[in-house]
Amino acid sequence: MRERRLPVFGEWESVPERRDAAESRERILSAARELFERKGVDAVSMHEIGRAAGVGQGTLYRRFAHKGELCLALLRESIGRFTEEVAQEVEDEREPALKRLVRLLEQLASFTERNAALLGAVRDASGGERRTEIYQSPFYGWLRAVTIWLLGRAVERGEARGDLDVEAVADSVLAPLNVELYEFQRRKLGLEVERVVRALSGLLLEGLRARSVQPENGAGERESSSGGSEP
């Protein structure tokens, strides 16, 4: 069997730009970054960004079709750091694959916490067919590929059930940490980050783990110590 390799994040394809176009793009991003830091992402309009950058609305919308696209561009630097950190953590084959999957979820929760405003703007700016844009981005594609890779390694090493459909399960693993649900749990329900991740990882591990694999850190003790027989 061919060994699975950790997917490499290839970044967004860069489209060649004229010098003046690249400069106006950078002015727009710089103006948006400054306005967002000062006023908050939700309070800033595209019109205000264009005015602060000194570019016309036509130029602004040629560079960025909507506010979510602009916010995604601002996220690229953070995404680059995040993917490097994740790769370092999950590549270590000495660790169980499911343990590395939990670590990925912890890192993703921290990333979402730090960038919730920009991620929320990407979501809010998307309507209709654009609602799925974030799932078609190189970032989500890479996250999904890494999750599939870890699930596949868990199956190969006997940690996870042999009948696991890793491609179908991957999106379900990532879905609870999408910004919409995450913000509801954090801001509306007041759940701590650690509690959100602990609940998700516990549920996933119980559902994914092969029956012959003993849970770590006391997980599953309730079942073994209940003393009762199944009905």
Boundaries of domain holding 182: 76-211
If you average pLDDT over every residue of the chain, what do you get? 82
pLDDT reported for residue 1: 40
pLDDT reported for residue 177: 87
DSSP 54: T
Q: Which residues contact 57 (CB under 8 A, 6 or more apart)?
A: 46, 47, 50
Q: How far apart are CA 141 and CA 229, in angstroms?
A: 44
Question: Tokens representing 38?
Answer: 């000062």
Q: pLDDT by residue (tens digit) across 102-145?
A: 999 999 999 999 888 888 787 776 554 555 666 777 888 999 99
Q: Please count the structural domains in the chain.
A: 2
Is there a single domain that holds both residue 95 and residue 206?
Answer: yes
| Contact of 53 with 30, CB cutoff 8 Å | yes
Amino acid identity for residue 111 in this structure: F
Q: Which residues contact 193 (CB under 8 A, 6 or more apart)?
A: 109, 110, 113, 186
User: The domain that contains 47 carries what CATH number?
Assistant: 1.10.10.60
Query: Is residue 108 in a domain?
Result: yes
Q: How confident is the model at residue 230 (pLDDT cuts 50, 70, 90)?
A: very low
Q: How confident is the model at residue 167 (pLDDT cuts 50, 70, 90)?
A: very high
| Contact of 118 with 32, CB cutoff 8 Å | no
Q: pLDDT by residue (tens digit) across 60-113?
A: 998 898 888 898 889 887 888 899 899 988 888 889 999 999 999 999 999 999
